[in-house]
Every structure is written in structure tokens, then in C-alpha cells.
Amino acid sequence: MKLYLIALSLTLVGSCATLRHSKKIELLKDNIEFENTQTINSYLNTITKAELKQHVYAFSSDEFQGRMTGEPGHHKASKFIKDYYISEAIPSPLGSKYYQHIPESYFSDGIKKSQNVIAYIKGSEFPEEVIIISAHSDHEGYTDTEIYNGADDNGSGTAAVFEMAQAFKIAALEGHRPKRSVVFLHVTAEEVGLHGSRYYTQYPVFSMKNTVANLNIDMIGRVDDAHIDNQNYIYVIGANRLSTELHYISEAANTEFTNLELDYKFNSDNDPNRYYYRSDHYNFAQKGVPVIFYFNGEHEDYHEPTDTPEKINYELLEKRTKLIFATAWYLANSEKRIVVDQDY
Ligand SMILES: [Zn+2]
């Protein structure tokens, strides 16, 4: 009897804690509200499939020879990125050079010196706090007979970052500068070992402490086999791993603006693919920065020379880019920065 009572009261204490926890989460969810949806929508609408298509075709053209880290094709691609920001009058926190140089000694396996490219829109109220939107710029290079164009990997991510940067720029020009700074980070050397993002997190331009979140994009223009019959989806990985709030912001952005199916299959810790550990966001997560990794899953052209721009679903690329933009908008404009409430 006594034992039973102890067991019962322990159960009650336990369920109270759970209840408190779920109350807290309910409160968190309820507090996430997009203000000025009309304003946000007007900037979302500057993100178009026509412009995304133009960027993907340009960035995955043969001119860049498959963008192998350290090789002339990738240097050219880096200059292409820099020139885009100059043409859009979007500055770099590094001044006129836009490049974060990485010396050859940082790499191994004969990879030559390379560079991350960084641009940003400075925040109006908390400029030292940053949201980093990232996409890797390198790919697999070429062989004697074939070029690895990497239209999805990662022309799609690069194009998405370009369009979001432009949308934030237009908003700033029209008096809607974000409260926090938004950084557009094109990292190098992902395919050869996540080196560019690791370098950035070791030598950050804005301190890691002031880095509010990293939204990382690697392949968002295609559809995998699992979604042939329901293409209106995106895999969302990592959102709840460090910040419960980030997960709910992502969900609210989707409900309010895009209505994609957010597929969390690959976010499961026991998923054998372990994608959470396999792209650039993971270097940020290791430093305690909440991340979201956006990904369409693998497909038959993954890491093949047949990953070409005519196979991209541009309508879907537009929708997915809008989801990321709306999420970034919230993170950059909320009164308080998101809280890390999970261990890492
Ligand atoms: Zn990739």
C-alpha cells in the first residue's frame, strides 16, 4: 500500500512536470505570430521562379567546369557570386573584397586555396545579432568527358540565397530593414569535407555567440522517389535539435505562407542517412547555433553529371525559397532572439 502510494505520487509529480513542459510549449507556439503579413507577402512575391531559373542556369553552366574547390572554375563561380551582390548593391561585412580567403594549408589532399563569399543586409536595431543563410558553392568538377554541373547540388541553394538577398534588399530600401543583420554565406569545399563552413565557424565574421540561427540550403530544386505522387514537400532537418522555438517558427511560417508538407523523416536521430551531420549547418550546430537544413532528398542524378538545370522544378524551388525567406524574416524581426533550450 505504502509502496503503491509512493509510486502514485511519483507518477503525479512526473505528469505535472510534463504538463508544465507542454504548457510552456503551447505558450511558445501561441506567441509565434507573423505581423504585417501583407508586407511580408509583398517581398515574398519578389522571389520568382523566372529569376530562380535564370540563376540556376547561369550558375550550373559549363563555364564553371563543375566548380571544384580551388580550381579555376570554382574561382570563376565565386566571382560570379560576388558580382551578383555588387550588381544588387548588397554590401559585404568584409568590405569591397567579399571573399573570406582560406589558405591551401587549411585543406588536405592537394586542394588549393579557396574562398567563402559573404554579403549582408545590416540590421536596424540589433545589427550585431545575425541570421546566417548559407549554401555551398562548390561541386564535383569534371572528368575528361563530362562536367558535373550540379544544378540541384547546389545551384538550387545558391539561386535561393540570391533571391532572398534581393528580397531583403528591396525591403530595406522601402523602409523595412530587418532588425537583426541577415548574412548571405556561400561556403566553399562542402563536397570535399565541409571545410568552408568549418573555417567560417572557426574564424567567424560575426561572433558565434551573436549568431542567432543558421538556415542552410543544399539541394531544394528536385523531387525524390518517396514524393513522386506528392511533390509539395521539403525535408526539414535539425529545427528542433537546439531550439524548440525555431521548430515552431518554421511551422508557423509554413502555415502562414507556403503550405508545404514539412517532412521530418530525416530529422530522426536514428535515421541511418544521418543528414543532420552531413552538410554545412552541422558546423554551426556544433558551436551551439540553432540550425535548419533544407533538403529535397537524393535522386537519380545526385552527384552525377546529369544533375542539370532543365530537371529542376522551378515552381517548387520558388515555394521552398519562400518558406526559408519567411522563416528568416521572423528570426530577423522578432522582439527577442530565439532561445536555445536543448543540449548539444
Ligand atoms: Zn550539396
Residues with CB under 5 A from ligand 1 (ion): 153-154, 218
pLDDT (average), residues 246-269: 97
Ligand 1 center–CA 176 separation, angstroms: 32
Residues 139 and 99: their CA atoms lie apart, in Å, by 18
Grid cell digits, residue 339: 532561445
31 band by pLDDT with thresholds 50, 70 and 90:
confident
**Alpha carbon of 100 to ligand 1 centroid (Å):** 20
Categorize the per-residue pLDDT at 343 as very low, low, confident or very high, splitting at 50, 70 and 90.
confident
Ligand 1 center–CA 35 separation, angstroms: 34
| Spacing, Cα 153 to ligand 1 middle (Å) | 5
Instruction: Report the first-to-last Cα separation within the chain, whole angstroms.
Output: 42
Dist. CA 139 → ligand 1 center (Å) = 7
Domain ranges in the chain are 36-333
- How many angstroms does the Cα of residue 253 sit away from the middle of ligand 1? 25
pLDDT value at 297 more than 70: yes
- Please tell me the predicted confidence (pLDDT) of residue 1: 38
Q: How remote is the CA of residue 303 from the centroid of ligand 1, in Å?
A: 9
Residue 219 Cα, ligand 1 centroid: separation in angstroms?
Answer: 6
Question: Checking DSSP bridges between strand 233-237 and strand 291-295, what pairing results, if any?
Answer: antiparallel
285 pLDDT band (50/70/90 cuts)? very high
CA of 154 to the centre of ligand 1 (A): 5
How many percent of the chain have pLDDT more than 70? Answer: 92
Ligand 1 centre to CA of 247 (Å) is: 23
More confident residue, 172 or 33: 172
Of residues 269 and 285, more confidently modeled: 285
Q: How far is the CA of 22 from the centre of ligand 1 (A)?
A: 36
Q: According to DSSP H, which parts of 226-308 are helical? A: 239-242, 244-253, 281-285
Residue 129, all three cell numbers: 545579432
* Cis bond before residue 273 (omega within 30° of 0): no
Mean pLDDT, residues 50-71 taken together: 98
Q: Which residue type does 331 have?
A: L
* Edge-to-edge strand list for the sheet holding 291-295: 99-102, 114-121, 180-187, 126-136, 211-217, 291-295, 233-237, 261-263
Q: How many whole angstroms from 136 Cα to the centroid of ligand 1?
A: 7
Q: Tell me, in angstroms, the distance from the centre of ligand 1 to residue 19's CA.
A: 41
Ligand 1 centroid – CA 296 distance (Å): 11
Say how many Å lie between the CA of residue 16 and the centre of ligand 1: 44
Q: What is the pLDDT of residue 15?
A: 54
| pLDDT value at residue 29 | 78
CA of 152 to the centre of ligand 1 (A): 8
- Expressed in angstroms and rounded, the spacing between residue 190 Cα and the centre of ligand 1 is 7
How far is ligand 1, taken at its centre, from the CA of residue 301, in Å?
Answer: 12
Cα 191 to averaged position of ligand 1 atoms, centre (Å): 6
Question: What's the pLDDT at 342?
Answer: 86
Q: What does the mean pLDDT of the chain come to? A: 93
Count of alpha carbons within 13 angstroms of residue 276, beta-carbon side: 22
Indicate if the pLDDT at residue 2 is higher than 70: no
Instruction: Report how far ligand 1's centroid is from the alpha carbon of 278 (Å).
Output: 9
Q: pLDDT (tens digit, 9 = 90+) per residue, 119-139? A: 999 999 999 999 999 999 999
pLDDT tens column, 219-251: 999 999 999 999 999 999 999 999 999 999 999
Q: Which residue has the higher pLDDT, 5 or 161?
A: 161
pLDDT of the residue at 344: 65
Q: Tell me how far the alpha carbon of residue 101 lies from the centroid of ligand 1, in angstroms.
A: 21
State the CATH architecture for 36-333. 3-Layer(aba) Sandwich (3.40)
Contact 330, 40 (CB under 8 A): no
The pLDDT value recorded for residue 18 is 64
Q: How far is the CA of 259 from the centre of ligand 1 (A)?
A: 25
